[in-house]
Amino acid sequence: MKTITQRELAARSKAVLDDVEAGETYLITRNGTEIAEVRPLSARRRFVPVEELQRKWRHAPVVDAARLRAEGDEFFGGEDRVGGEDNPWERK
């Protein structure tokens, strides 16, 4: 983490934001007191072309829904794990 003053941030904002985009974090001070932290967003959204998604899905493993359900029931418990007859989440 780099520490810079408010004045430095104002004078070099483009360079600072370029560094942040590349993963750097800055601590901003004013009159010697820490006032802010500028850091990259942890979950940046990015556009993914349809072709890339299709390519990834094409090579994804096949999921056996019945086996997945059986393993979940084994781990978490059976159908009665949430509640009794008044269970609002139960499929009808």
- CATH number of the domain where residue 18 is located: 3.40.1620
CA–CA dist 92, 88 (Å, integer): 10
- My answer on whether 9 and 34 are in the same domain is yes
Does residue 34 sit within a domain? yes
- 8 burial (CB, 10 Å; 0-12 / 13-18 / 19+) is middle
45 located within any domain: no
Q: Which domain holds residue 9?
A: 2-38
Per-residue pLDDT of the chain (92 residues; tens, 9 = 90+): 999 999 999 999 999 999 998 889 999 999 999 999 999 987 666 788 899 899 988 988 889 999 998 888 888 876 665 555 565 566 65
Residue 91 has a pLDDT of 61
| C-alpha span between 90 and 85 (Å, rounded) | 9
Domain assignment present for 26: yes
pLDDT at 10: 95
For the chain, the domain total comes to 2
Q: What is the predicted pLDDT for the residue at 86?
A: 60
CA distance 69 to 78: 10
pLDDT at 41: 86
User: Is 20 domain-assigned?
Assistant: yes
Residue 48, pLDDT score: 83
Say whether both 34 and 58 belong to one domain: no
